Amino acid sequence: MKRNDNYSDEALEDLLKKMPQIHDSTPSETYYERIEANLSDQHMSAHVKPKRKKLIPITGIAAAALFAMLSTPLWMDRTFDSANQPSESTEESTADFAEKKSGSLPSASETPPEGKEGDSTGANDSSLPPMENEGAEPNDATDNSPPTISKQDEMPNTKQEEKGHQENESGETSMRTYGMKQETLVTTTHDKELLATIGVPRKGGSEVVPISFKVPASFGSTADVYNAISTSYTNARWGLERYALQDVEFQNTENGALQAVFPEDYDPPATLKTEETIIHSLQVILNALNQDALTLRKGKEEGIRFTHSGFTKKITSTDLKQTYSLLYPSGTEDPLLLPKDIKEEQSVEKAITTTTHSIMNKKGEPVFSSLGYENVEENGDVLIITFADNVELDDDFFSMALVEGILMTAKSYNFTAVHFKGANVESVSDYHFTTPIQVPEAVNPKPFTLPSGS
């Protein structure tokens, strides 16, 4: 900057102090989302050519030498930004997509309403039949053979899922996240992804809310994912309490199962509510792992001596049926699906009805209070639901939440797909009612922050 010798350093400093202060009232969340959007839209060149060197005239050499003797030389550092290329994008080749399209099942759709970013998913392996023509008529409910399951023509958009990846000239990773901000309430992984689900207590309530993270399979083991979740969980943005298992390390046993290792100096909580939250959070992880039990350790010792539950060596799977409701956490606009265990014997039809009447707006009013079902029946591992004549679905968020809540309720009853019939629309979001829809794997997906250097 050119200096005006009419001012001394003290005078310039005094003038700077008299300049008006600038106050920025923009919320920090606004900057976060702008940066997040910009990172996903950047398509920079893989190499930035250095600036062309200018030739110094011979007549200026003497002047340059004299200047170097009288002043301190200034050096300008040049940085080279590499291309914003997600490492997983090349893995989803056309051949992979063709293979999935011909032999996989339909994954639960995850495209959000306009204006929100979505978490696209791929298909999951299952014992259900491969897809048939999407235009084919669905099997009648009286047919003894399972209905054909069609696959959404959607390739997992890894380029969208992995974002914010920037490297400097030496190849060091500065920041990467996997999974986009979205409004869909469920998620399904494909064969190049890992899934980890944790349980987090609701603010001001006793419920434990499942939160799910997807990562590239190249990240490591499932234990690695759970141990890195503390860098991705953001309770302030999601309106929930602190993750109660942040100090717990997850390790693989000799048989490959996951175990929870508490610190050697771990002091169990004194209150019953906090203890129940910890045990419930462990139960959520166990259900996501599909293990019969989750063993507990305190350092090298087996088991944890809880204040109220006593000495506990492992958490066992309960396999309870569940209904789902729509939850609006405090301080956030993002709703979540909240499961509720069914502790008494209950038919799947009654559970579906409970879930339907639990999809509420922010005022706590049921959105589908008058919606009923003419028939709910089983056909193998496919649940067939026929809407009553008064059905009024729209292609909006609440109808999508209803479909996803019903899919997860059916999953808890060990159904692998749901066939909706008699609706007043052919589809809601990307869920097409002409063929059965595969149940998702987990609820409430959130972006995962990959640790630096991963």
Residues in the chain: 454
* DSSP, residue by residue, 158-175: HHHHEEEEEE-TT--EEE
Which has the higher per-residue pLDDT, 165 or 235?
235
**Residues 6+ away with beta carbon under 8 Å from 371:** 356, 387, 388, 390, 391, 392
> What is the model's pLDDT at position 438?
97
Which has the higher per-residue pLDDT, 448 or 164?
448
| pLDDT score of 263 more than 50 | yes
Paired with 196 in beta bridges are 213
> What is the model's pLDDT at position 4?
54
> What is the model's pLDDT at position 297?
96
Q: List pLDDT tens digits, range 220-247.
A: 999 999 999 877 777 667 788 888 998 9
Angstrom distances, CA of residue 216 to CA of 219, 427, 428, 445: 6, 30, 29, 14
> What is the model's pLDDT at position 25?
66
| pLDDT score of 350 more than 60 | yes
**Domain map (residue ranges) of the chain:** 92-127+175-320+444-450, 321-441
Mean pLDDT of 388-397: 90
Percent of the chain having pLDDT more than 70?
A: 61
| pLDDT score of 89 more than 70 | no
Q: Are 325 and 340 in contact (CB under 8 A)?
A: yes
Position 112 confidence tier, pLDDT thresholds 50, 70, 90 = very low
3-state helix, strand, coil in the chain (%, to 5): 25, 25, 50
| pLDDT score of 402 more than 70 | yes
Q: List pLDDT tens digits, range 353-378.
A: 999 999 999 889 999 999 999 999 99
Position 139 confidence tier, pLDDT thresholds 50, 70, 90 = very low
- What does the DSSP 8-state code read for residue 60? G
Phi and psi angles of residue 238, each rounded to the nearest 5 degrees, phi first: -105, 5
| pLDDT score of 178 more than 90 | no
Position 111 confidence tier, pLDDT thresholds 50, 70, 90 = very low
Position 92 confidence tier, pLDDT thresholds 50, 70, 90 = very low
Q: How many CB atoms lie within 10 A of CB 432?
A: 17
Q: List pLDDT tens digits, range 183-218.
A: 789 999 888 899 999 999 988 778 899 999 999 999
| pLDDT score of 415 more than 90 | yes
| pLDDT score of 83 more than 50 | no
> What is the model's pLDDT at position 57?
54
Q: Are 179 and 447 in contact (CB under 8 A)?
A: yes
What stretches of 329-416 adopt beta strand conformation (E)?
336-342, 373-379, 382-387
Between helices 348-357 and 397-412, what is the axis angle to 10°? 150
* DSSP, residue by residue, 195-242: EEEEEEEBTTSS-EEEEEEEEEGGG--HHHHHHHGGGT--HHHHTB--
| pLDDT score of 381 more than 80 | yes
Which residue type sits at 256? G
> What is the model's pLDDT at position 396?
92
> What is the model's pLDDT at position 417?
98
> What is the model's pLDDT at position 310?
96
> What is the model's pLDDT at position 341?
92
Mean pLDDT is lowest, of 41-45, 68-72, 126-130, 366-370, for 126-130
Q: List pLDDT tens digits, range 271-306.
A: 999 999 999 999 999 999 888 999 999 999 999 999
Q: Kindly report whether the global pTM for this prediction surpasses the value 0.75.
A: no
Which has the higher per-residue pLDDT, 26 or 100?
26
Which has the higher per-residue pLDDT, 333 or 223?
223
